[in-house]
Structure 1
Amino acid sequence: MSFLSAYSWINIRFLLDGLLVTLQVAIVSIVLSFLIGGILGTLRFMKIPIISNIVMVIVDVIRNLPLLLIIFFTYFALPKIGIQFSIFWSAVVAMTIFESAMLSEIIRAGLVAVPKGQMEAGRSTGLSYLATLYYIIFPQSIKLMLPPLVSQFISLIRDTSLAVIISLPELTHNAKIIYAQEPTAVLPMFVAMAAIYFVVCYSLSVFSKRLERKWAV
């Protein structure tokens, strides 16, 4: 098989099917982890006695664990205690757990970066603490959070390839199947994967920069 013949329509379609699963896992994980990470980051920022400390410990533990270990845990360990997910949802749960911890730190740092005077100004107008947080602090902090948030989301897209270990039919898994059946397709498949990941991640990076410039106006 020649280099170009490895890019038959059947193989390309199989790779695109894998890409679709990759994006599905990434999008669902991004949405869930942003919501959960937002709550955790806000709780740490608010410095609620005991609760904030508990959240800090949980976040620090998760951030220092390999994502691969968390994937193994959700797929192999949780069923032992009666909690079982499909391959797709095992990957999503693992990604969400890991990314929530990462995003919570980004969100907390973004909130902390807003000058303290903004909170005092909001409270002086009669707004409650939560209202000030929602209407004044969050809108300003999101501009600071955007670059690291997008960087983390891009990392998440790449990290979905780790789910190949539990046979999630994502991009890397499908490429592996192709070159397992056609050994001469190893190099073409790696080139294809590199190109696809680059296009997806670079497009997201360009979009974030445009969004950042728009908000800066």
Structure 2
Amino acid sequence: MTDFDTSVILYALPYLLRGIVVTLEISVLALIAGTVLGIACGLLSVSGSRWLAWPVTAYVYFVRGTPVLVQIFLVYFALPGIGIEMTPFWGGVVALTFNAGGYISEIMRAGIQSIDEGQSEAAKSIGMRRHQTLFHVLLPQSWKRVLPGLTNEMITLVKTSSLLSVISIFEVTRSAQVVIAEKFTPFEIYALLALFYLVLISLLAQLSTYVERKLA
């Protein structure tokens, strides 16, 4: 059994730190865009219109029923076939946005439906339309309830972003693979990579707890 090579850790650190930056950039962009998409789909799903809710149901079913890796391949390799070209970075953002939007849609739907029915009835009694009730009464009250789910989705996105290495995005996992190919020290590099993810996820979890307490 070979000794643990600490020198390669120092060599790999700059590469992995740059990869962490890319990972966070993609994850944050996908979370923002996915939240916008998820809110829109969540509102459509509780709009009361079957014609608006059905496409959302099909979209969510597809996202939850297919592997993330397949969704990444569809975005990056299939879309150029219909004339939509993207760089690997933006292909990754779009793929994760597509995936996150489906889950956030369900988070938002559940959050909105958890609001007491009396709120909707009160809004209706003063003449508010359905869309006004959704935007001005139900959606604002649902934020505290959906925050834990959104935080969990952010953590999931950070971990899922490791799959983007298959389309040559130099996020932290891909950066680690490059160093391994150069130095032939998989144990040391993957141990460092695992530590990076543990620290990053722990920080995100702590941030989530802090924000939830502030909003409580």
**TM-score normalised to structure 2 length:** 0.93
Instruction: Write the mapping of 1:178-197 to structure 2, written as runs, cut at 5 A.
Output: 178-183=179-184, 185-197=185-197
| Residue of 1, 5, 8 corresponding to 2:7 | 5
Amino acid at match of 2:167: I
Post-superposition offset of 1:18: 0.8
Moved over 2 A (4+): 122-136
Instruction: Write the mapping of 1:113-192 to structure 2, written as runs, cut at 5 A.
Output: 113-183=114-184, 185-192=185-192
Post-superposition offset of 1:22: 0.7
Higher mean C-alpha displacement, 30-39 vs 118-127: 118-127
Tell me if 1:204 matches 2:215: no
State the alpha-carbon separation in 2 of the partners of residues 180 and 147 from structure 1: 39
Post-superposition offset of 1:136: 2.3
Structure 1: 5+ residue stretches without partners: none
Q: How many residues align?
A: 214
Higher mean C-alpha displacement, 112-121 vs 129-138: 129-138
Quote the residue 1:213 is aligned against. Answer: 213
Structure 2: 5+ residue stretches without partners: none
Quote the residue 2:77 is aligned against. Answer: 76
State the alpha-carbon separation in 1 of the partners of residues 174 and 190 from structure 2: 12
State the alpha-carbon separation in 2 of the partners of residues 136 and 70 from structure 1: 35
State the alpha-carbon separation in 2 of the partners of residues 132 and 74 from structure 1: 36
Post-superposition offset of 1:126: 4.1
Higher mean C-alpha displacement, 33-42 vs 43-52: 43-52
Q: Is the 8 A contact 2:47 2:130 kept in 1?
A: no
State the alpha-carbon separation in 2 of the partners of residues 94 and 190 from structure 1: 25
Instruction: Write the mapping of 1:63-102 to structure 2, written as runs, cut at 5 A.
Output: 63-102=64-103
SS in 2 for 1:46: coil
Amino acid at match of 1:151: N
Post-superposition offset of 1:2: 5.0
Over the matched positions of the two proteins, sequence identity in percent amounts to 33
**TM-score normalised to structure 1 length:** 0.93
SS in 1 for 2:50: coil
CA deviation string 1:41-92 (max 9, x = no partner):
1100112131211221122122211110011111111112211111001111
Instruction: State the Cα RMSD in Å.
Output: 1.5
Q: Is the 8 A contact 2:180 2:186 kept in 1?
A: yes
State the alpha-carbon separation in 1 of the partners of residues 83 and 55 from structure 2: 26
State the alpha-carbon separation in 1 of the partners of residues 209 and 137 from structure 2: 23
State the alpha-carbon separation in 1 of the partners of residues 144 and 68 from structure 2: 28
Amino acid at match of 2:5: F
